[in-house]
Chains A and B, each alone.
Chain A
Amino acid sequence: MSAEQSGSSTAVETPASGVMERFSYDDRIVRQFILATLVWGFVALLLGVFIASQLADWRLNFGISWLTFGRMRPLHTNAAVFAFAGNGIFAGIYYSMQRLLKTRMYSDLLSKIHFWGWQAIIVSAAITLPLGFTIGKEYAELEWPISIAITVIWVVFAVNFFQTIFKRRERHIYVAIWFYIATVITVALLHIINTIQVPVSLWKSYPIYAGVQDALVQWWYGHNAVAFVLTTPFLGLMYYFLPKAAEKPVYSYRLSIIHFWSLVFIYIWAGPHHLLYTALPDWAQTLGMVFSIMLWAPSWGGMINGLLTLRGAWHRVRTEPILKFFVAGLTFYGMATFEGPLLSIKSVSGIAHYTDWIIAHVHGGTLGWNGFIIFAMVYWMVPRLWKTELYSVRLANVHFWTGFLGTLVYIISMWVAGITQGLMWRAVDGTGRLVYPDFLETVLKIVPLYYVRAIGGGLYLVGFVIMLYNIYKTVRSAPADLKDDVVSAPRLTRNTIENLGKTPHRMLEGLPVVFSVLTLVAVGVGTMIEIVPTFLAADYVEANPLLKPYTGLQLHGRDLYVREGCYLCHSQMIRPIPSETLRYGEYSRAQESMYDRPFQWGSKRTGPDLARVGGKYPDLWHYRHMMDPREVSPGSIMPAYPWMYRDKTDFAIIQKKLKVMKSLGVPYTEVEVRFAEQQAREEAKLIADQLVAQGAPKGTEEKEIIALIAYLQRMGQDFKKGLIQ
């Protein structure tokens, strides 16, 4: 309660109506965030079309390290999620929260720090990711210095956000603000817990979690990044901008309450649905599955409340692009949140996981829901913020239809590709053999669909460019003087039992601190129950003294694997599914990745699983394959890695790496650490000599490719040698 009072501490005892106060909204910051959204949106979409084209035609990797798929893909996802959607969210939040709370932001300075800090983070991501500096966990790739910067800037935002709530002139907080609160709190929690890293150097670090534990924490994070970056803030924005644009009241306050709390409570549990059939203990997988199923109705609650708010305004949907974007966006949201629970059913996941079906699912959400809500919001805000009229409604309609068509082409082609490939992988004939034993055959079958997908993405990008033009023309017609409007509202009086409201929830809406604490509790319960047991590692992974950690050279090679983003095309997790063990060998055990920091189980099989690739081919095969995959696998779409044959292995850093690993509990001996560099050089020499004997050129022992081969040949060996049961 005391914090509540401090929120209205400037208020003296006044009559119930309060003293009228004049103030203005900070719209400048909103304009800045909108412009950033447009710039980064273009970059993110362009990158998307680029990497889609790389999968259709491998030559677009150009043999240039920083342009290659494995490095561009994280840049695309980070740009889309944190730069495009992120800036869009901030624009919408800064615009709506000031108006919903009838107050200017707490501090213009903090807003500025937030804005410029966030852009600096994006720029640093755009530089470091192509250079191969990555943590190697999806959507959490940014290395530790940037990761810390994210925490700092997020805290700046959070302080500004909560202080603004405290100085509000509206007693109760509207449902949009509830969703913003959930976002601000949970994103901080997710980001901090998932990226606790121990640095090796300025741009390399290892996570404190390993193997199955790292996998669980990562997908708890990854899934809830979808929940609390791409869902809750967007629902909040929808609750503000949709009724505004439709000029209709929100359909059901009760529905808002129920679906808000159920969504926030249930979402956090669902992460393990990314890990079905893996070495994660069964109970955690089952929790992930059932909570995903229970998430269906809460998700649809938001869609229903939005669509029903449009009652009486449907005739306007035909003519108004903003409403079109809302209707389509909510529908795509409904589709994606039906598909999500479906994909979480174990047997469905068995077919869909690792395939392009998941890519279709994600893009239904991002292109259809996040993109369209941002577009609706931008078209609504820009004329108001620049005090002018939209340049062309017709162009906005054209944007809608190209975007809509592009999204459909994208997701339908990827559905077909995913289901086709998923079925081919598991096809077994009457004699108990794989019908398509050659993995590449299943890839070549769907390559035409990769072209179609690139076209779909291209259409969406064209639509976006049309919007850019439209907004540019609109902004050009703005008056020179964009002074913030002055508004007035009565100062908030103290909370009393009478003015707080009659129902418990209504009272809660007047007590944002209590509200925030309850939100934290709601997301905390699932987090604790799922993650804490992993710290009691014994239940998860039995210690196995027979298992030796990676040698220095193998470890270094593994880091190269992470650097090149091989995990974006290759999994390292064989599931207990008959067709899969037939193809790759025995299913993967938790112990096999107990020294893996980060875990590299992967989430997509554009190429085959590599968990047991060690010993499958001679060194020379890998040597030639990595130089140009098509030389040994005709038609392969895997990029070539010529720079690994030029660049030298950094032998000096290996000792530091072993030291850090040892400090994290990996059983390296003192001797191994002391002579790490020497041992690694000897091991490299051995491999290089063998390669020469097999027919490779001389003088490769110092090259990175040797370290990578050392790692590839180690994969799965512990199991093959019978060290793991």
Chain B
Amino acid sequence: MSKSDDNDPNRKKSTQDSLESQPHHLAGHTYDGIDELDNALPRWWINLFYITIVFSLGYFSYYVMGDGPTLVREWEIDRGEQEIAQLSKPAGLKSVTEDELKLVLKDSTRKLAGQAIYQSKCISCHGAHGEGGIGPNLTDDHWIHGGKMTNLVKMVTVGVLDKGMPPWGTILKQNEIHSVVAYVKSLRGTHPAGAKAPQGDLVEQ
């Protein structure tokens, strides 16, 4: 296709005798006053085209016909590395004692940090002041899953998906969970307006 009008007599003449090598107007190629020139395809352009074709053939052969990994296989490999990272730095697995948590409860900066987390992540279900809504009231002495701080940490970390409490262990860091639990604990007995009726067992403390 590209060698169209090769046998046009004018063309040889023009390449021979014009120093500025202006290609001629193709004879007969005039449409509503528009003429066409017969310039060669730019070298770099045609090379670009060839390169993309060769690349594509190679890529397709390797990944589809050859034994290049599928996307899912690549994901499995990457995920494996991710899991190793999670295991080697087990952010959610270190056990924490009630006494350690009581220390957090006394630390006002940690509690402030906990309040900030509570405001952004928890109020949608537990209310702005812990009064409850979608989730239970967090200010009373009734607890569905136990009232110890270690119970709360476990609860917040793993959640109860079936009942609509999300697991925060993959989202919050361990110490953030401690902070927010400390903040929740500090709400005890505040009797906020519109408090939801108690749920769970009464826990003596």
Contact = CB atoms under 8 A, between A and B. Distances in A.
Nearest to A346: B71
Given A300-B48, A304-B45, A282 B86 contact: no
Interface in B1-57: 1-8, 25-26, 28-29, 31-42, 45-46, 48-49, 52-53, 55-57
Contacts of B8: 502
A461 B84 CA distance: 53
Interface string A294-313: 10111011001000100000
B96 interface: no
Interface in B52-86: 52-53, 55-57, 59-60, 63-64, 70-72, 74-75, 78-79, 82-86
B189 interface: no
Contacts of A100: 31-32
B38 A582 contact: no
A251 interface: yes
Contacts of B83: 432
A99 B71 contact: no
A501 B4 CA distance: 10
Given A433-B86, A505-B1, A283 B64 contact: yes
Contacts of A172: 28-29
B4 A631 contact: no
A437 B170 contact: yes
A621 B63 contact: no
A310 to B, nearest CB: 13
Nearest to B132: A695
A249 B59 CA distance: 40
A164 to B, nearest CB: 14
A109 interface: no
Interface in A246-270: 249-258, 261-262
A99 B82 CA distance: 65
Contact of A582 (B1, B72, B82, B89): B82
A242 to B, nearest CB: 9
A23 to B, nearest CB: 14
B71 A432 contact: no
Contacts of A346: 71
B136 to A, nearest CB: 11
Contacts of B78: 577-578
A483 interface: no
Contact size range, A? 35 or more
B125 interface: yes
Given A294-B53, A304-B42, A582-B82, A286 B64 contact: yes
A111 B13 CA distance: 46
A581 interface: yes
A251 to B, nearest CB: 5
A431 interface: yes
Interface of B: 1-8, 25-26, 28-29, 31-42, 45-46, 48-49, 52-53, 55-57, 59-60, 63-64, 70-72, 74-75, 78-79, 82-86, 89, 91, 120-121, 123-125, 133-134, 161-164, 166, 170-171, 173, 196
A632 interface: yes
A296 B38 CA distance: 23
Nearest to A254: B2
A432 B82 CA distance: 5
Interface in A269-307: 277, 282-283, 285-287, 289-291, 293-294, 296-298, 300-301, 304
A254 B39 contact: yes
Given A254-B38, A294-B52, A434 B32 contact: no
B39 A255 contact: yes
- 9 smallest CB-CB distances across A and B, nearest first, come from A618-B164, A632-B124, A297-B49, A290-B56, A576-B75, A432-B86, A432-B85, A249-B35, A437-B171
Contacts of B86: 431-433
Given A576-B72, A616-B166, A631 B124 contact: yes
A584 to B, nearest CB: 11
Contact of A621 (B40, B42, B123, B124): B124
Interface of A: 96, 99-100, 102, 170, 172, 174, 240, 243-244, 249-258, 261-262, 277, 282-283, 285-287, 289-291, 293-294, 296-298, 300-301, 304, 308, 341, 346, 428, 430-434, 437-438, 501-506, 576-578, 581-582, 587, 615-618, 620-621, 624, 631-634, 694-695
B88 to A, nearest CB: 8
Contact of B39 (A251, A428, A433): A251
A105 to B, nearest CB: 15
A624 B78 CA distance: 38
A502 B5 CA distance: 7
A293 B52 contact: yes
Given A438-B171, A621-B125, A632-B125, A249 B79 contact: no
B34 A578 contact: no
A262 B79 CA distance: 40
Nearest to B47: A297
11 contacts: A240-B34, A244-B32, A249-B35, A258-B41, A261-B1, A297-B45, A438-B121, A503-B6, A576-B71, A617-B164, A624-B124
A578 B79 contact: yes
A296 B52 contact: yes
Given A253-B29, A433-B170, 4 more contacts: A262-B49, A587-B75, A621-B124, A621-B164
Nearest to A431: B89
A582 B170 contact: yes
A261 B49 CA distance: 13
A503 B4 contact: yes
Most chain-A CB neighbours within 10 Å: which of B33, B39, B161? B39
B85 A431 contact: yes
B177 to A, nearest CB: 13
Contact of B37 (A250, A501, A615): A250
A582 B81 CA distance: 13
Contacts of A296: 48, 52
Contact of B33 (A244, A587, A695): A244
Contacts of B46: 297
Contacts of A577: 75, 78
A578 B45 contact: no
A578 B91 contact: no
Nearest to B38: A253
A428 B1 contact: no
Most chain-B CB neighbours within 10 Å: which of A253, A257, A277, A502? A253
B31 A170 contact: yes
A502 B7 CA distance: 8
A257 B31 CA distance: 16
Contacts of B125: 621, 632
A355 to B, nearest CB: 19
B21 to A, nearest CB: 13
Nearest to A301: B45
B63 A286 contact: yes
A631 B125 CA distance: 10
